[in-house]
Amino acid sequence: MSAVTQLPAWQALQQRIETALETPILSLFDDPERFDKYSLKVQNILLDISKNPIDDDTFQQLLELARQCDLEKRRDAMFNGEHINVTEDRAVLHTALRNRGHSPVYVDGEDVMPIIEHELKRMRVFVNAVRKGRWRGHSGKRITDVVNIGIGGSDLGPRMVTQALKPYADDQINIHFVSNVDGMEIANVLKGLNPERVLFVVASKTFTTSETMTNAQTARNWLMASSFDSRAVAQHFVAVSSNAVAVKAFGIKLENTFQMWDWVGGRFSLWSAIGLPIALYLGFKQFEELLQGAHDMDLHFRNEPLERNAPMWLALTTLWNSTFLGRHSQAILPYDWPLKKFSAYLQQAEMESNGKSVDRNGDIVPYTTGSIIWGQLGIDGQHAFYQYLHQGNTIVPADFIGSVESSTPVAGHHEKLMANFFAQTEALMCGINADDVRRDLTAKGMSSANIERLIPHKIHQGNRPTNSLILDHLSPRTLGALIALYEHKIFILGTIWDICSFDQWGVELGKTLAQNILPELQSGDVRDDHDDSTRNLMQYFVDQRKSIGNME
């Protein structure tokens, strides 16, 4: 048994499960102050968690559990640069990257703020040079297109943010992303580009990731295939990495390399030079606004009491719904078109962080940890999977995210969009019972036999938990705060579950096997030490390719 489950608050929460499952969420609103108690405004974001099966006593016990897990002490340990990534023996300091207060942050006795600020300054100088046309391509032409080559944490953050803040872009730079090793992606991106005007940002913390290295090589070949000589690489390639040796071996000079550090996890790295494409696309000032928003949220997380602390609230609703009530997936549903890629971004952030099954000591945990994060734009989801949310027999807690002001106002659209936001959260909680269905259908003149036949199909049980997040407006600063809010949620959950949220050993085995398998596919000689299924599938693939004459 893990120690966490022995804590008095954990045990008290266990006792509350039955009541929570039997009490309709709607009945909790008999307390006229419920909305005021369970909503708060932080950094232009209104967060409402009142539509959760959490009564006052449960909420207090959840807070108590966080305290009994030394949440505040462990939060301070993160901000103070202690090695909380225990399996890799590293600090976890994405918060230092956006420390706009510039107070010192020590890692192993060394203040890291000077190196962070130095790198930010290099980014600013470079971004301004590219955007103002002082940095030009090898043939003297202005750079018009930036292609970020990276995957996972070296792709999802910049990809999501540039999409979210498109209305803030000034059209000086077009931005493109290549992450997949499927040749179609890079082929499609390169097809429309003029090599004389392209800047490639090769983003890889390790600079060993196979997909990224393959795409970078293809990009370099493409550049060389134009009339350029090899010196062109210097003007058309920059790198972001913590592995200077590998960057040099690839042929990118040190002065064209932006640094990141081992205490920045890939999925928390958009605040570092991994954010270079964001700054190139939007301008450095907007990038700084993004950092400022995240810093503001950091201050809130550090300084506000746990009872009124937004990241705590998000984390505790998930903890209760998932670990205690057994609702193990969570939908992220933006009603804000620019946040189209937000659920994909959070999928990596949360699932790679908290998809773990042993505690920090390596002992198997006897409870469910990270949720399955999924979702897409809510309004599109309504016409696809909301049936499941309303009437499926698995309950999926959901976060609804919308804005007061549209990023791109078009007459008559925004109220319609948000009417759906409110309607869906209301329907998910309140549902509709047999009496109301009967009344409805009777008013429509349906025969009573038909009504009774249809009633079970039309009942919505309701009682589906949701959080609502309403932004004033999706600005760079508010987006920074929103991302940091979820980052801290992840940290809190990992702390209570007593897992290491900052490693990702689970992605290694597949990578190693792929490396071993590749030569077999290339040579056509499939080894017989694979399991039977895999060997036969590989053999089929090799044989089919031979038969179509497509062995490369």
Ligand X SMILES: O=P(O)(O)OC[C@H]1O[C@H](O)[C@H](O)[C@@H](O)[C@@H]1O
| Sole binder of ligand X in the list 3, 187, 507, 551 (CB under 6 A) | 507
Q: Where are the alpha helices (DSSP H) in 192-306?
A: 210-225, 232-236, 244-250, 276-282, 284-303
Residues 6+ apart with CB under 8 A from 273: 119, 123, 240, 258, 259, 260
Pick between residue 384 and residue 507 the one whose CB is nearest to ligand X. Answer: 507
Instruction: Choose the catalytic residue: 383, 416, 444, 457.
Output: 383
CB of 265: closest distance to ligand X in angstroms?
Answer: 7
Rounded-to-integer distance, Cα 307 and Cα 324, Å: 20
**Cα 323 from chain centre:** 21
CB of 340: closest distance to ligand X in angstroms?
Answer: 20
**Cα 246 from chain centre:** 27
Stretch that binds ligand X, among 88-96, 201-209, 215-223, 421-429 (CB under 6 A): 201-209
Residue labelled with tokens 């060993």: 208
Q: Which 250-269 positions form the footprint of ligand X (CB under 6 A)?
A: 266-267
Is position 277 an interface residue for ligand X (rule: CB under 6 A)? no
| Sole binder of ligand X in the list 206, 218, 256, 292 (CB under 6 A) | 206
Q: Where are the alpha helices (DSSP H) in 132-199?
A: 156-164, 183-191
Please say if 452 is a catalytic residue. no
Provide the mask over 345-384, with x wherever binding to ligand X is found by CB under 6 A and - wherever it is not. -------x--------------------------------
Stretch that binds ligand X, among 151-159, 181-189, 215-223, 410-418 (CB under 6 A): 151-159
Pick between residue 269 and residue 317 the one whose CB is nearest to ligand X. Answer: 269
Instruction: Choose the catalytic residue: 211, 350, 352, 487.
Output: 352
Provide the mask over 154-173, with x wherever binding to ligand X is found by CB under 6 A and - wherever it is not. x-------------------
Buried (b) or exposed (e) across 84-104, using 16+ Cβ within 10 A?
bbeebebbbbbbbbbbeeeee
On whether the CB atoms of residues 131 and 173 are closer than 8 A, the answer is yes
Beta bridge partners of 414: none
CB of 334: closest distance to ligand X in angstroms?
Answer: 22
Number of neighbours of residue 121 by Cβ within 10 angstroms: 10
Structure tokens at 13: 């929460």
Is position 216 an interface residue for ligand X (rule: CB under 6 A)? no
On whether the CB atoms of residues 45 and 482 are closer than 8 A, the answer is yes
| Sole binder of ligand X in the list 209, 318, 495, 501 (CB under 6 A) | 209
Pick between residue 153 and residue 311 the one whose CB is nearest to ligand X. Answer: 153
Rounded to 5 degrees, φ, ψ at 45 are -125, 120
Stretch that binds ligand X, among 114-122, 199-207, 334-342, 378-386 (CB under 6 A): 199-207
Binding site for ligand X (CB under 6 A): 151-154, 204-206, 209, 212, 266-267, 352, 504, 507
Residues labelled catalytic: 352, 383, 511
